[in-house]
Chain A
Amino acid sequence: MRNSLHVKLCQILIMLMTVGVVLGFQNLSIAGNQLVIQPNQIEIGTFFSGQSLLIQAEIPSSAQAIVEIVGQSSEEQLMKKGRRGGLWMNIGEVHVTGVPSLYIVASTESKLLEDPSADVSWGYHAIMKKIGVSGQVNENEKEKLIQDFIKLKEHYGVYKILPGQLKNSKSTNGHKKIVGTLPIPASIKPGTYEVCLTVIQQSDKQENTKQCQNMKVVMVGLPAILATLAYEHGALYGVIAVIIAILTGFAMGYIFKKGGGGH
């Protein structure tokens, strides 16, 4: 009796361990595949004109997803425009803090990004809550200023909202694959960016989960050489720029014999 109980307990324990190990492996496997970005390093070369970032992830069939690309937060110095003597000009300095240098967000379901005032941890509303404004700005101007700041970022292509950009595939084994391409603008600056996947559970009992990966943006080749030269050896860069211009001018003058146009 005791032996049989012992055996049964052992069997249950082994079963539990097996299930645990299997589930553990399954979770690891999902975790490993949850967010895949391609490429995970973007290189700004001579012909760089922006790039598409491929996003792939595996999420539960019933869930929805949000993918964000977020640049490092920094302080930005801006100028407030105003009218003086009938002409629009800069009239005061404004400091904005907690601003990601880049913010691109995409969703599986359009409605997740379509309500700008929704109290969620993604989208412009969430960004706006983190932004601090100081300088020559009145309290009643701040909201309009922050809204214009977002529009300014959108104008330069570094802030984008892409509702429904992530496509779902058929679900298998309780999971589905999401795929999407996010446009990386040509004006992106070198640095480290976070690509984050938020899995939104449909039932209230389960919490949303967030997983992030780093994406590097580096300048390579000629742009890297020129930027380093320009910022670290300004005088040498200026002299080289002049020498190239003079040699080209002479070459063109020689080729066409008559020389360039007047100024």
Chain B
Amino acid sequence: MSVSLYLPLAGNSINIFLLFGLGGIVGFLSGLFGVGGGFLMTPLLIMAGVPPTVAAASDSNQIVAASTSGTYAHWRLGNVDFKMGICLLVGGIIGGTLGVYLIKILRSMGNADFVIKITYVVMLAIIGGYMFVESLQSMRRQSTVKASRKPSEEPTKVSLYTKFVQSLPYQMKFEKSGITASPLLPIILGTLVGILSAIMGVGGGFIMVPVMVYMLRMPMHVVVGTSLFQILFTCINVTIMQAITNHTVDMVLAFILLLGSTIGAQFGVKISSRLKADQLKILLASIVLLVMIQMLASLIITPNLIITYKGGH
């Protein structure tokens, strides 16, 4: 029996162990660091020969499984703020729908691949760069024993931002998160993350988590559970919309990936407690930056061929 599996929507076959391994590695990193997954999976699939639009849409489908598993676990621990999650979700659905139509328009113009790649380059550069610098600083601080903490100018910035947040209408209390804010804020933020989710085929958690921590000022333990809850529904919406509009969700591809990623994530969680966080963060940041450099190179280096298929092959 062949080890290759035919992907009917991608229109090609791919090695089953390669897919399972990709899912496992990305899931392992996801479990290890508590961030990412989708933002690494889609570029790796593109490198493995899956058409970009199929890779992005199928990855959304795969994230539905991973976030179901995570939300379920966090819900049992009481770490999901459903009220905040629903506000983010409303925004996510609006953003996801807009994103799917945006991809359709871009595909008809032939720019879908370019937009997916450039969005990746920018997001990976920001996240990889930030993580690399942050973990390097953290390691230096440890080596110089006690680094003096900067009181910094952050409180002024936060207070200005807080004033803006407080000026928004319809202020309401989010009990689980322990904050008071206008629902408009998470709806707007959810919309932006939803657009990125549809374009990049990611759950948006690696953008949503810092947004919830720094912009919504939610406690970390509630952030992860609520983010996963929101991501689950955003990705359900993106998967169904992509299936209806673009026919790019490859169920076979998604299924093998989700088997690998959910198993890999469990091992990642177990290993993470035994290793030094900063060293691992630097490793992840390096992987993220390498993926970013590879994608950037494809935009800068003169291509071998001056033509390509329309619609992202």
Contact = CB atoms under 8 A, between A and B. Distances in A.
B268 interface: yes
B4 A186 contact: yes
Contact of A249 (B65, B111, B251): B65
A45 B30 contact: no
B6 A46 contact: yes
A240 B240 CA distance: 9
Interface in B1-38: 1-2, 4-6, 8-9, 11-13, 27, 30-32, 34-38
A238 B34 contact: no
Which of A76, A219, A261, A262 counts the most chain B CB atoms within 10 A?
A261
A87 interface: yes
B66 A263 contact: yes
B136 interface: no
B61 interface: yes
A245 B12 contact: no
B34 A261 contact: yes
Given A261-B37, A261-B268, A263-B70, A226 B300 contact: no
A241 interface: yes
A151 B305 contact: yes
Contact of B262 (A89, A227, A252): A252
Interface residues of B, number: 86
> Interface size class for chain A?
35 or more
A263 B67 contact: yes
B5 A46 contact: yes
Given A89-B114, A245-B254, A262-B35, A152 B249 contact: no
B83 interface: no
Contact of A260 (B9, B31, B32, B303): B31
Interface of A: 44-50, 76-82, 86-90, 93-94, 144-145, 148-149, 151-152, 155-156, 186-187, 189, 219, 222-224, 226-227, 230-231, 234-235, 237-242, 244-246, 248-250, 252-253, 256-263
Given A152-B308, A231-B247, A240-B251, 5 more contacts: A77-B311, A81-B308, A248-B68, A252-B266, A259-B71
